[in-house]
Structure 1
């Protein structure tokens, strides 16, 4: 997934095309700075473990993403050691989840 390649963005996304690279860059930044682990629980369910200091950023970003892509279900659960962010999509949007997983894996910090 890159800011230049948006072929995976579904028609259901209502975010204006001009704003999409900016939103992707926000996810890329979150992955680069806070992502500790990624698990694929099922084809339609992805789990990220983030640095807990990223909670406000993750909540803001997922709230805005849910408003333009209503097919996403984001669940955030935090504690002092880690922030768990579950991402679920209907089967029709597995390709979107695949793209997010690929982008996250490419930017995950060690």
Structure 2
């Protein structure tokens, strides 16, 4: 059990997001669970680029592919790239256009909260 608190606040979600408002808390909860279960390390490559190093299990890969595909279909500002640098790990690259750095900042904060990082 962790001592960090993850909020369902989606006030940072950009207007470009077409996911129905009622579904946003559920999607946020899915991502929070994924971050808690899967993320092993985080690198902020640049203001527009976040790199998540993930557990390499098939279940994590399947979840990552499903979540990023669904998120891409409703929030086209994100670019996701999932790769397997070696047999035991996955890397999820998340990038946004220059005008949406604040959205990536908020995503990075959610990852930090879910994984207990500061």
Normalised by the length of structure 1, the TM-score is: 0.94
Instruction: Report the structure number with the largest CA radius of gyration.
Output: 2
Describe the SS at the equivalent of 1:62.
helix
Q: Shift in Å at residue 106 of structure 1?
A: 1.2
Q: Calculate the aligned-residue CA RMSD, in Å.
A: 1.4
Correspondent of 1:90 among 93, 97, 116: 97
Q: Which residue of 2 aligns with 1:48?
A: 52
Q: Unpaired runs of 5+ in structure 2?
A: 1-5
Q: Structure 1: which 4+ aligned runs deviate by more than 3 Å? A: none
Distance 1:109 1:8, change over 3 A: closer
Correspondent of 1:6 among 5, 10, 15: 10
| Separation in structure 2 between the aligned mates of residue 88 and residue 2 of structure 1, nearest angstrom | 23
1:30-109 residue pairs with structure 2 within 5 A? Answer: 30-53=34-57, 54-78=60-84, 79-108=86-115
Describe the SS at the equivalent of 1:105.
helix
| Separation in structure 1 between the aligned mates of residue 68 and residue 80 of structure 2, nearest angstrom | 7
77-86 or 40-49, larger mean C-alpha shift: 77-86
Q: Does the CA-based 8 Å contact 1:36-1:109 persist in structure 2?
A: no
| Separation in structure 1 between the aligned mates of residue 101 and residue 7 of structure 2, nearest angstrom | 17
Normalised by the length of structure 2, the TM-score is: 0.88
